[in-house]
Amino acid sequence: MLGQDVLSAADLAGHEALALARGDLDITDRRAVEALIAQAAPDVVVNCAAWTDVDGAESSPEAALAVNGPGAGHVARAAAASGAWTVHVSSDYVFDGTKTTPYVESDPVNPLSAYGRSKLAGEREVRAGAPERHTIVRSAWLFGAGGPCFPATIRRLAAERDELTVVDDQVGCPTFTGHLARALVELAGRPALGIVHAAGGGSCSWYDLARETIAAAGLACEVKRGRTADLNRPAPRPAYSVLATERGHRIPRLPGWREGLAEYVAAGVSTA
């Protein structure tokens, strides 16, 4: 989902880009990563590869960690060895959600889930593997045209049902991958060392996002408020993971999440 938009954004910005799917390169294979990056000799490597199944990571923590932790390290080390900069995508789930004001880059991390711990491990691997040549971009609640996502699921369910219940006790920053991709390409062109936060402007709950999605799609479906505890999901989620930045004008600011949702809906994305 994100990778496809990064490729499009890179093309529009006039960059020559080499895009690799998992079938082309498994980032858990260190030797393969080293060989391919050495051969390609890139200026920048944007790592969008990740284990993103939050609940699945609870039952397969080692598999999730292999991709999100050491796998990210393989990419960063190989990029640094070839003289390239690494732009690595991380997550709001490195935080525990106990704050009531937006998280900034210097806030203490304390992931609640196996997924969150694997993403934090990835940040540490990238810093260790490319200490002077990395940008770690924390983002949140991604949705886009290139794969399954929350708005697509809500549109499908709202077309099938008269009523949905969606949790309103998790608050974050929905982020359109088309907007994030442009920010990643911009950071690739003027890299900023260290961790940065880049997510859709504003914040909302999943309930709010569901209502906006249904309204934007012109569907008639009532949305009721639910609780996370009632879902009995394997992985705990941060109740509040709104992201902000303390890095000033050097960091691209993304449009608001409603603008991202409007672009997503206007594109006529099919439900999934």
Query: Which of 44, 45, 47 is CA-nearest to residue 22?
Result: 47
Measured CA to CA, the distance from residue 81 to residue 57 in angstroms comes to 30
Query: Does the annotation count 240 as an active-site position?
Result: no
| Calpha distance 251→61 (Å, rounded) | 32
Task: Give start and end residues of each alpha helix (H) in the chain.
Answer: 2-12, 30-40, 54-59, 61-66, 72-81, 114-129, 150-160, 177-189, 206-216, 257-266
Half-sphere exposure of 247 (CA within 13 A, CB side): 25
Contact 149, 178 (CB under 8 A): no
β 142-143/175-176 pair status = parallel
Q: Which H or E run includes 171? A: strand 171-172
Do the beta carbons of residue 192 and residue 251 sit within 8 Å?
yes
User: Burial letters for 227-251: b for 16+ Cβ neighbours within 10 Å, e otherwise?
Assistant: eeeeeeeebbbbbbbbbbbebeeeb
Query: Which helix (H) or strand (E) segment is 223 a member of?
Result: strand 222-226
Contacts of 23 (CB under 8 A, 6+ apart): none
- Per the CB < 8 A criterion, the answer to whether 265 and 216 are in contact is yes
Catalytic one among 115, 207, 240, 264?
A: 115
Give the residue numbers marked as catalytic: 115
